[in-house]
Structure 1
């Protein structure tokens, strides 16, 4: 029996029972749904801040099996996996290889991030024919993308062409984005997903598609798709701007899907309207996996109201986890995985567990517990008390 916990925001009595959401591996039918998944760090690795991330591979793959068991697809090696915030390209490549093999073994759907993060971020000698900021030239960006695209295809996973910090530095204008993406899409053997990640998720991507004017950037983005619609399975928009996503969705060529990446307005966007709907590729579906899968299966029956009744109450938690600085949402995601019993510790690559305050984490616990997300509420309460004690609180 749980008892009151003294959280920074005040006393809280945990709920006694979780949601009863048994796994069913059958995927939803009315929407294609991916969860971007986090990585589990190895807390006992003796590494320094300058070393590559140490990953607990078994715990990381076990979490993916959890998502697949509920019928969700896994979006691998995305920003939720701390790509560019603790996980380097060598680690991401190993993650892709291992997850691809695991997906084949269990019959799970998988797509993976393809980027350019093997290029030097800053400092060091500039490449020959360097870009306008002294960073990589366009040729270097294309070569890096090609290497990662080849790895994805060799391992039989659908590529997600991620926004590139290196391209943002190298490009002189929209024409450089158009030529770079056209080059990559011509090479892709199967249709890819294009990802537009906004600067709230990564400040280095400010002005992506060649303009800080979002209308101009949107036109360039759509021009890339219009030039190669047969090579674009869909697009993922992570701008936290529902009106813009709906506008882009309505302007897509026939057959090109829109995968919402809006962690603020996803129930509305997935439900859609009389002119269409969004599929989903969301970081918030990491902690919401079982509930999200169940909600979309309700939507499969045509029960939009039932879908919204299940998913709308989760938005407060998602907005809390993704509040500015949004890029640190991964800390709350990993906290909830630990509290839910999916991993044995609250340690992250690069020490990112320190990126959010104790009051922020305590509120995340309270909201998630209120939703019934923890399979064992007593375990979650015990672990939350331990975290409070470590920080000198009164659990």
Structure 2
């Protein structure tokens, strides 16, 4: 099937994604999931978030069908970029109800708790109170808790001791192990200097001190700094039993292969392929024969390799606009009826970028219905003045 793109004709590969399957055994893998906007609602910047709940929950069921867990109400869901706390709270509640149809919400769903409903918090006590309100909301649903990085805390804290004081109270209050969250400034410039220092090695030392102090109550830490060497070093320094969840959407194949778990926005877009690769990694780690192990590792590498150019394009600078590409690919794949986003964020990436994502997603085998994907791509091009 040929389609005329901006830089010339392209012949689609048209390979079908892998089928659903069981959860991976060797790695815990979360897909950070996007929300589907109601395409008929007003989505001007700053307007209350209007969510298509049916399509949003259907997408989470799609992710669970592939054995992936869902990380919800996080930055991939436009948290802090249009998804207000009222909508996020409803998303957490509805997501937990949907998870019960598939099993234990605590094993299938983890949700972000932050301070975004209190942007004017001016003291550590106010930041802490805002966090606790959202943590309680998540706990009440039975889902796992991800303590998100806080813009308010980054603004108010005067050093690592302030982070330790606030996080110590939050971890103790949760009553069960939580996942911590380090989102680099390439994802959110307002988080520069998190953990009390703009120097990454110094900030890492502060984070490790916090985790070591509370290790029995820290299930893991999600790190999104796009620095493979740093992540490997941090992973090696964690206390036993504390997982490193890679949030590195550039280097995830090698990091997962070498021992990181996953909490990734790119897994929203590549769920079928990611799940198949993780099953190959399971087979490799369970194989007794070196030759069989090598074959399964090669299958893991070969399965994920075509997704890397897609991920690196999708997350290119300005990285925080990656959500536009995530939603675009979900629309092309038929998971939602419109390419529409909260706050009008579908306009955050240019047409040339979207055309590149179309090509790379096809090459990675991500379109269950290539004809539908091609039709929708042609419609988008026509809206922008290209003839079909």
TM over 0.5: yes
Contact 2:14/2:367, CA 8 A, preserved across alignment: no
CA-CA distance at 1:161 after TM superposition = 0.6
CA-CA distance at 1:297 after TM superposition = 0.6
* Residue 178, structure 1, aligned to residue 159, structure 2: no
* Structure 1 residue matching 2:181: 3-state secondary structure: strand
For 2:43 and 2:387, how far apart are their aligned partners in 1? 32
Q: What is the match of residue 67 of structure 2?
A: 71
Gaps of 5+ in 2: 285-295
Measured at CA, do residues 224 and 374 of structure 1 come closer, stay the same or move farther in structure 2, by a change above 3 Å?
same
Gaps of 5+ in 1: 122-134
- Given the alignment, which residue of 240, 244, 250 partners 2:236? 250
1:95-122, CA deviations, whole angstroms, 9 ceiling, x for partnerless residues?
000001100112261101010011135x
Q: What is the match of residue 81 of structure 2?
A: 85
* Residue 37, structure 1, aligned to residue 33, structure 2: yes
The normalised TM-score by structure 1 is: 0.93
CA-CA distance at 1:79 after TM superposition = 0.3
CA-CA distance at 1:47 after TM superposition = 5.5
1:321-366, CA deviations, whole angstroms, 9 ceiling, x for partnerless residues?
0000000000000000000000000000000000000000000000
* Structure 2 residue matching 1:285: 3-state secondary structure: helix
CA RMSD of aligned residues (A): 1.1
Q: What is the match of residue 128 of structure 1?
A: none
Q: What is the match of residue 290 of structure 1?
A: 272
CA-CA distance at 1:371 after TM superposition = 1.3
CA-CA distance at 1:312 after TM superposition = 1.9
* Structure 1 residue matching 2:275: 3-state secondary structure: helix
Q: What is the match of residue 15 of structure 1?
A: 13
CA-CA distance at 1:51 after TM superposition = 1.9
For 1:47 and 1:200, how far apart are their aligned partners in 2? 25
For 1:290 and 1:136, how far apart are their aligned partners in 2? 44
Normalized per residue, the structure richer in helix is: 2
Aligned residue-pair number: 374
- Which segments of structure 1 move beyond 6 Å, counting only runs of 4 or more? none
CA-CA distance at 1:13 after TM superposition = 1.3
For 1:366 and 1:23, how far apart are their aligned partners in 2? 23
For 2:118 and 2:354, how far apart are their aligned partners in 1? 34
